[in-house]
Amino acid sequence: MSKADWSAIEALDPPHLEQLFKEDDGRVARLSLDVAGIHFDWSKTHLTRDAIAAFEKLAKATDLAGKREAMFAGKHVNVTEDRAAEHTAERGEGAEESVAKAGALHARMRALIDAIESGAFGEVRHILHTGIGGSALGPHLLVDALGREDSRYDVAIVSNVDGVAMEDAFKRFDPKATLLVIASKTFTTTETMLNAASALQWMTEGGVEDPYGKVVALTASPDKAIEWGVDETRVLPFSESVGGRYSLWSSIGFPAALALGWDAFQELLDGAAEMDRHFRLAALHENAPALAAFADLFYTQVKHAETRAPFAYDERLRLLPSYLQQLEMESNGKGVTVEGKPVGRPTAAITWGGVGTDAQHAVFQLLHQGTHLVPVEFIGVIEAGDTLAGDHHRQLLMNMFAQGAALMSGRANDADPARSYPGDRPSSTLLLDALDPHTLGALIAFYEHRVFVNAVLLDINPFDQFGVELGKEMAKAADKGGQSFDASTDDLIARAFG
Ligand code: F6P
């Protein structure tokens, strides 16, 4: 196979999923893996021995191993921005210098947390974190997933520039007991800057004597934070080479580290590091991120699936689908190769999804009988998060297992087509032993590396995001006024603002 020769993959034509099971007793064992407290099962996808072999060849031709090592070594794999992508160094897996730098910045973060806990900031009961995109989705996921029982503070993560979001937090919090956390890699994002200014004003009006003294900045642009008015001692920097949607491991994870405690944050990093080592060392046919990416690519390239849908069968992971939307779509929603040529094939599937069992009663109709092929991913946790006497958790998991089985088997009803289920609909299942920081760290790192494998095999750069710039620029121009757009946009602006 020459470089990026997809012909063997495009020629794959596996039979019905049930047939694949009939043909191969060892299918479940061969397509299941256990890594870092997570059981992965791809047996209900159409991955076959031939498919895996064809993807392994493509991985070789596109130098996946070399590019993976280049990423871990801190080489400038983000070619369009001439930067490294060093999120793994944050968890101790990367170039020696970068790991040391990340460790020093973590120590600084930990010292600030110790100071807050020892009362150096006065009474702090509430954490008001403002950031957007990667500066909000990661910390929000962590706090929501792990902070239900153990959170030592009341945390609000406000991202939307709609003032309603900020006002909701103001209603809940006492300004005198609030720590304002401004999270922005660039420290220029208009939504975050406006939210931060409004929060500071609320603290001032609420009688906080030195509101700037209660502000912490999380950023890769410390000079800009200092210029904004944050004291240098309360700026927690992180490296420019950590991308926004890969940044929860850096100081962007501060609200989680503060609310859950340092030990929990360290466990999160350790779990991710365990997945890093697995990704780096395991052969591709038993490598979780690689197998997941092979299945992704089989469905997007061969079966022309336009979307994929993760469903978290655990209330604590309800924010996982929106976290994955940014990770997958901002990373791999690209149209050109790393050399800037048209990529010529579909790139990232559209990620959507939801929470089980709610989604079963809302969108699963389409999954079972609709005309779109949607690879589904189930994410469940063996250890229950609740303590209720009823059988909530058992029902939750049984529903998840039943949905995967039903999607696969279907049920023919020749007499009544409306009641017929075609089946042969793929799903993968991720079953966590427990939802703890270690396992969650490993889970998130798994998704990061899966995105990377997809990108390498598609020859695209997962680490830039120029697609978001044009809209930002035009919003700024519109806000300034005096600029004409198209007739429709001009009319809408005139209707809203006269
Ligand atoms: O607009 C997209 C984006 O740049 C994301 O990549 C990023 O996570 C988000 O905006 C927030 O950026 P910042 O952390 O610089 O405020």
What is the secondary structure of 356-378 as a DSSP string?
Answer: TTGGGGTTHHHHHHSSS---EEE
Question: Could you give the domains of the chain?
Answer: 3-81+268-464 (3.40.50.10490), 95-260 (3.40.50.10490), 469-497 (no CATH)
pLDDT at residue number 150: 75
The predicted-structure confidence for 59-115, as pLDDT tens digits, reads as follows 999 999 999 999 999 999 999 999 999 999 999 999 999 999 999 999 999 999 999
pLDDT at residue number 3: 61
Which residue minimizes the CA distance to atom 10 of ligand 1?
Answer: 133
Task: Please tell me the distance between residue 156's alpha carbon and the centre of ligand 1 in angstroms.
Answer: 19
**How far is it, in rounded angstroms, from Cα 133 to Cα 252?**
11
Enzyme catalytic residues: 330, 361, 472
Q: How far is CA 219 from the centre of its chain?
A: 19
Task: Please tell me the distance between residue 381's alpha carbon and the centre of ligand 1 in angstroms.
Answer: 31
Q: At a CB cut-off of 8 Å and minimum separation 6, what does 261 contact?
A: 150, 152
**How far is it, in rounded angstroms, from Cα 389 to Cα 223?**
54
pLDDT of residue 33 exceeding 90: yes
pLDDT of residue 1 exceeding 60: no
The predicted-structure confidence for 272-309, as pLDDT tens digits, reads as follows 999 999 999 999 999 999 999 999 999 999 999 999 99
Determine the number of helices (DSSP H) and then strands (DSSP E) in the chain. Answer: 20, 12
Average pLDDT over residues 147-162: 92
CB 143 within 8 A of CB 256: yes
Counting Cβ atoms within 10 Å, is residue 387 exposed (0-12), middle (13-18) or buried (19+)? exposed
Average pLDDT over residues 372-395: 96
Q: Residue 235's CB: how many other CB atoms inside 10 A?
A: 24
**Ligand 1, atom nearest to 219 Cα:** 14
**Ligand 1, atom nearest to 469 Cα:** 1
pLDDT at residue number 151: 81
pLDDT at residue number 2: 42
Enter the tokens of residue 280: 């780096």
Task: Please tell me the distance between residue 186's alpha carbon and the centre of ligand 1 in angstroms.
Answer: 8
Residue 475 Cβ contacting ligand 1 at under 6 Å = no
- Residue 34 is inside which H or E element, if any? strand 32-35
Task: Please tell me the distance between residue 133's alpha carbon and the centre of ligand 1 in angstroms.
Answer: 5
pLDDT of residue 369 exceeding 80: yes
**Ligand 1, atom nearest to 221 Cα:** 15
For Cα atoms 65, 379, 246, give the angle at the middle one, nearest 5 degrees: 50
What are 237's strand-pairing partners?
Answer: 219
Residue 451 Cβ contacting ligand 1 at under 6 Å = no
Average pLDDT over residues 205-231: 97
The predicted-structure confidence for 436-481, as pLDDT tens digits, reads as follows 999 999 999 999 999 999 999 999 999 999 999 999 888 888 888 8
